[in-house]
Amino acid sequence: MMSITVLLVGITGSPRGDQAPIGYTDTPMQPDGRWHIHDGARPQPRLVKPGQPGIAIASSAPSDAIVLLGSGNDLSAWQAMDGSPAPWPMANGVLRTGKGLIRTKAEFSDFQLHVEFATPDEVKGDSQGRGNSGVFLLGKFEIQVLDSYENPTYPDGQAAAMYGQFPPLVNASRPPGEWQAYDIVFTAPRFTANGAFDKPAVVTVFHNGIVVHNATAFWGPTAHRRINPYTPDTAKGPLTLQDHGNPIRYRNVWIRRLGGYDES
């Protein structure tokens, strides 16, 4: 009976008596002094059930978008981090994580981004070991990908978190295996003519059609157990998808460069 009970709670992702503590208390405090980075005591985002998938997931890209993953098997927009061809397998418009990170060949600054992803149908692992990947904006600022459906973890590491900095306002995750969508509006950090830091990167994120970050500034580039400082090289960069050892699927990824008013 004991083994059956352990198996069941593992499937639902509920806390177990033998589960290691969630999060960290030996990391630096975040800049506002309220929580440690990856603090397990931080309040968990409340659950919100998203609407029907057809409402949140776009069927096609706008006419001025750069299609990064479309309906075919074209990976020409992507490469490995060393510049070699992207090593992730793709079939029928669905990209599966492979070994190592991949990045776009193009670099961006301010943009609108649409990404669809699905975590594994079969639940394995828990906390950060379950359906883990990430979308790195400019290759520096991570929006976390994770199976956060009935899966306790530290709040600033949940699905749609600004990893290590802000949890999502709510947990809008769909069940394992279902397609989900991030819609992201991003403004790159600004620097003065002499390279001094001026303004932080700012992001608005919709997870399955629900606002989870509302024009929120990053404290700095993403890192594990710390927050990196702003440097002039963070003003532009590629879109990067992370391999974290879990079989994540991606599809229907497109991006629109954003300019100012009155620009053609």
Residues 6+ apart with CB under 8 A from 151: 13, 126, 127, 130, 131
Does residue 216 sit in helix, strand or coil? strand
Position 128 scores a pLDDT of 74
Residue 262 included in any domain: no
Position 191 scores a pLDDT of 97
Of the given ranges (117-126, 157-166, 238-247), which has the lowest mean pLDDT? 117-126
State pLDDT tens for residues 239-263: 999 987 888 999 999 999 999 888 8
- The answer to whether 174 touches 208, Cβ cutoff 8 Å, is yes
Position 11 scores a pLDDT of 33
Residue 220 included in any domain: yes
State pLDDT tens for residues 83-106: 999 999 999 899 999 889 999 999
pLDDT category, 13, cuts 50, 70, 90? very low
Residue 229 included in any domain: yes
Domain CATH for 171: 2.60.120.560
Residue 7 included in any domain: no
Position 124 scores a pLDDT of 79
Residue 60 included in any domain: yes
Residue 241 included in any domain: yes
**Structure token digits, residue 233:** 């090289």
Position 98 scores a pLDDT of 86
> How many domains are contained in the chain?
1
Q: State which H helix or E strand residue 90 sits in.
A: strand 90-91
Residue 118 phi/psi, 5° resolution? -140, 130
As a 3-state breakdown, the chain gives helix, strand, coil percent values, each rounded to 5, of 10, 35, 60
**Looking at residue 157, what DSSP letter applies?**
G
- The answer to whether 97 touches 247, Cβ cutoff 8 Å, is yes
Q: What is the pTM of this model?
A: 0.86
Query: CA 4 → CA 1, 127, 165, 244, distances in Å?
Result: 5, 21, 37, 29
Region of 250 (left: φ > 0; alpha: ψ -120 to 50; beta: rest) is: beta
Residue 5 included in any domain: no
**Structure token digits, residue 195:** 């390279």
Does residue 156 sit in helix, strand or coil? helix
Spatial distance between the Cα atoms of 72 and 116, rounded to a whole number of angstroms: 15
State pLDDT tens for residues 40-54: 899 999 888 888 765
pLDDT at 3 over 80: no
